[in-house]
């Protein structure tokens, strides 16, 4: 695209497109956004000819890299036959095949797959399931509709999912509209205190609490906060003991980000409900799944009034289902998880080098995710991460920060040479920003 065409398209964008998480006045005045014309593997192609390494897999979705040829071929093939039908009173092969294959890779005991469109709706469906589940027990639980979540949690953008969240910048404008959730200390901040608070809530208020909802091992949008698998084991034991459901939100952590297929696998636990999206469809289409145990599913059987009265127009979309089925085949055929071992070591070594620099705090990594804080962590409106972003962009990598937390979460199959380049840009950009203006 020539520079005039590029500039004209950006002007039209600024006139009509309202961007997410963006102050549109400064965007319209000063921003020169990336204009992406194509993408392949870990690389994005800018209209001006630049090639940029995607350091966050496009909001954690393109786990197999952009435009994986097998996924693109599957999409085209499926599109030529059937793009969409409603899942009401109808079914189709892609939905059935994916549900079977998905249940087979889920923690044992999870076997009923409810489809929706994205991570937020996967969580929203789980919240509604958990609420209705308790209303339909033979023993009546009229008040068992509250939720426990963790401080620094992020579970999505619908109002129910927002209520579970605890990332200030997202919560403050909606404070009046949020449903009550009790937030426990994050295990990433204080493991023992978190479990103590959980135990106390469950011991004294289990008859009010429908479920504990957690992001397992990594709290993503809350600042890539990481904690030990043993917390999952304890949380599972406690919730089972007090008969409160455990909902695990694997929207970010699932499909191998942490080095195991599910973060739950590190602790060998089965939640009552698991939510999955993003990498589930290889970052190609909006597609999500909420999967449950027999116990949860069976609570909805019987009278017509016991049905789960929830559904999104595009749930189970054949294009998404066909691609999601192929994603699982690619994981197997290309040994994606095995390939993360070497890559995870490179990420962890890079984080260890950064840890030695003054003003770098809480350097951490797990599987295909590595992060450092350049402040106290969690200051979402801090601009230090954005300065790293600008430096990295000028060196050819896209490293969108979470406030003062900078991190890498590239595609799981990023070519090793691209990963070396990404990590070198990451380290040099952090170093340059800190040299210019030391943090605290
Ligand atoms: C753990 C978690 N849950 C839910 C969501 C919401 O997903 P979506 O943006 O697809 O609605 C996200 C998004 O980042 C997430 O990280």
Q: Mind listing the pLDDT tens digit for each residue in 160-187?
A: 999 999 987 766 676 666 667 999 999 9
pLDDT in tens, 129-161: 999 999 999 887 888 999 999 999 999 999 999
Nearest CA to ligand 1 atom 2: 155
Let me know: does 122 contact 276? Beta carbons within 8 Å. yes
pLDDT in tens, 64-114: 999 999 999 999 999 999 999 999 999 999 999 999 999 999 999 999 999
Nearest CA to ligand 1 atom 13: 156
Q: Which residues pair with 119 in a beta bridge?
A: none
Whether the CB of 281 sits within 6 Å of ligand 1: no
The percent of residues above 90 in pLDDT, for the chain, comes to 90
The CATH topology of domain 70-333 is 3.40.640
Is the pLDDT at 407 greater than 70, yes or no? yes
Whether the CB of 123 sits within 6 Å of ligand 1: yes
Whether the CB of 251 sits within 6 Å of ligand 1: yes
- For residues 53 and 76, what is the distance between their CA atoms, to the nearest angstrom? 26
Is the pLDDT at 438 greater than 70, yes or no? no
Nearest CA to ligand 1 atom 16: 252
Please report the pLDDT score of residue 2 as a whole number: 94
pLDDT in tens, 350-378: 999 999 999 999 999 999 999 999 976 65
Q: Domains of the chain: which residue ranges? A: 34-67+335-436, 70-333
Mutation to probe ligand 1, out of 61, 156, 157, 405 (largest number of atoms < 8 A from CB):
156
Let me know if 77 is exposed, middle or buried by CB neighbors in 10 A (0-12, 13-18, 19+): exposed
Please report the pLDDT score of residue 176 as a whole number: 65
pLDDT in tens, 40-62: 999 999 999 999 999 999 999 99
Whether the CB of 118 sits within 6 Å of ligand 1: yes
- For residues 302 and 307, what is the distance between their CA atoms, to the nearest angstrom? 8
Whether the CB of 120 sits within 6 Å of ligand 1: yes
Q: What radius of gyration do the chain's Cα atoms show?
A: 22
Whether the CB of 277 sits within 6 Å of ligand 1: yes
Let me know: does 412 contact 256? Beta carbons within 8 Å. yes
DSSP-derived 3-state class of residue 22: coil
Mean pLDDT computed over 17-22: 94
Is the pLDDT at 30 greater than 90, yes or no? no
Let me know: does 199 contact 193? Beta carbons within 8 Å. no
pLDDT in tens, 264-292: 999 999 999 999 999 999 999 999 999 99
Would you list the DSSP string of 370-406? EEEESSSS--TT-SHHHHHHHHHHHTTEE---BTTEE
The CA 250 to ligand 1 mean position distance, Å, reads 9
CATH number of 34-67+335-436: 3.90.1150.10
Whether the CB of 279 sits within 6 Å of ligand 1: no
Res. 417 pLDDT band, cuts 50 70 90: very high
Q: Which residues pair with 398 in a beta bridge?
A: 54
Please report the pLDDT score of residue 213 as a whole number: 98
Q: Which residues pair with 274 in a beta bridge?
A: 248, 291
Whether the CB of 119 sits within 6 Å of ligand 1: yes
The two beta strands, 36-40 and 43-46, are antiparallel
Nearest atom in ligand 1 to the alpha carbon of residue 123 is 4
Nearest atom in ligand 1 to the alpha carbon of residue 121 is 11
DSSP-derived 3-state class of residue 15: helix
- For residues 351 and 330, what is the distance between their CA atoms, to the nearest angstrom? 29
- For residues 248 and 366, what is the distance between their CA atoms, to the nearest angstrom? 18
Nearest atom in ligand 1 to the alpha carbon of residue 253 is 1
Mean pLDDT computed over 331-347: 98
Whether the CB of 117 sits within 6 Å of ligand 1: no
């Amino acid at each position: 695209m020539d520079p005039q065409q590029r500039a004209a398209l950006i002007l039209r964008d600024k006139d009509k497109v309202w961007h997410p998480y963006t102050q549109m006045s400064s965007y319209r005045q000063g921003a020169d956004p990336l204009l992406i014309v194509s993408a392949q593997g870990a690389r994005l192609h800018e209209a001006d000819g630049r090639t940029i390494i995607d350091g966050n897999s496009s909001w954690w979705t393109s786990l197999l890299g952009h435009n994986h040829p097998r996924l693109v071929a599957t999409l085209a093939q499926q599109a030529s036959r059937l793009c969409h039908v409603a899942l009401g009173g109808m079914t189709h092969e892609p939905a059935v095949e994916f549900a079977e294959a998905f249940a087979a890779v889920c923690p044992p005991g999870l076997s009923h797959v409810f489809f929706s469109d994205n991570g937020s709706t996967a969580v929203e469906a789980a919240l509604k399931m958990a609420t209705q589940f308790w209303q339909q027990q033979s023993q009546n639980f009229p008040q068992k509709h509250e939720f426990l979540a963790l401080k620094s949690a992020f579970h999505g953008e619908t109002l129910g999912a927002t209520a579970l969240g605890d990332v200030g910048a997202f919560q403050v404008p909606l404070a009046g509209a949020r449903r009550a959730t009790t937030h426990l200390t994050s295990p990433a901040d204080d493991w023992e205190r978190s479990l103590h608070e959980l135990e106390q809530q469950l011991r004294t208020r289990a008859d009010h609490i429908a479920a504990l909802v957690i992001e397992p091992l990594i709290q993503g949008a809350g600042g890539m906060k990481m904690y030990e698998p043993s917390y999952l084991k304890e949380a599972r034991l406690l919730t089972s003991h007090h008969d409160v459901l455990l909902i695990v939100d694997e929207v970010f952590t699932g499909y191998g980000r942490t080095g195991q297929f599910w973060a739950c696998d590190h602790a060998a636990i089965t939640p009552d409900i698991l939510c999955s999206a993003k990498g589930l469809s290889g970052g190609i289409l909006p597609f999500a799944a909420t999967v449950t145990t027999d116990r949860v599913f069976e609570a909805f059987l019987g009278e017509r009034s016991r049905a789960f009265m929830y559904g999104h127009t595009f749930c189970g979309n054949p294009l998404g289902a066909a691609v999601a089925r192929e994603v699982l085949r690619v994981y197997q055929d290309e040994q994606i998880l095995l390939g993360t071992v070497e890559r995870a070591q490179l990420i962890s070594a890079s984080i260890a080098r950064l840890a030695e620099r003054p003003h770098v705090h809480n350097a951490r990594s797990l599987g295909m995710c590595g992060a450092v804080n350049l402040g106290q962590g969690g200051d979402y409106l801090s601009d230090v991460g954005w300065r790293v972003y600008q430096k990295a962009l000028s060196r050819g990598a896209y490293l969108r920060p979470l406030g003062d937390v900078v991190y890498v979460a590239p595609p799981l199959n990023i070519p090793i040479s691209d990963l070396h380049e990404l990590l070198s840009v990451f380290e040099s950009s952090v170093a340059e920003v800190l040299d210019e203006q030391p943090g605290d």
